[in-house]
Amino acid sequence: MLQILLPLALLCNGLTAGALLIAMIGVAPLRLALPDDRSVQVHQLLLPKVEPWMPALLVGGTIFTGAAGFFAGSTLVHVLTIISSSLQLKAILIALTKNVPINRWLAKLDPEALPPDFAESRAMERWRNWNAARAVMVILSLVINVYVVGLLV
Tell me the pLDDT of the chain averaged across its residues.
95
Percent of the chain with pLDDT over 70: 100
pLDDT score, position 80: 97
Measured distance CA(80)–CA(57) in Å, rounded:
20
Percent of the chain with pLDDT over 90: 91
HSE on the CB side for 19, CA within 13 Å?
Answer: 18
Measured distance CA(16)–CA(71) in Å, rounded:
23
Measured distance CA(84)–CA(89) in Å, rounded:
9
Rounded average pLDDT over 23-37? 95
> What is the CA angle 134-138-144, rounded to 5?
145
Q: pLDDT, tens digit, for every residue of 102-142?
A: 999 999 999 999 999 998 999 999 999 999 999 999 999 99
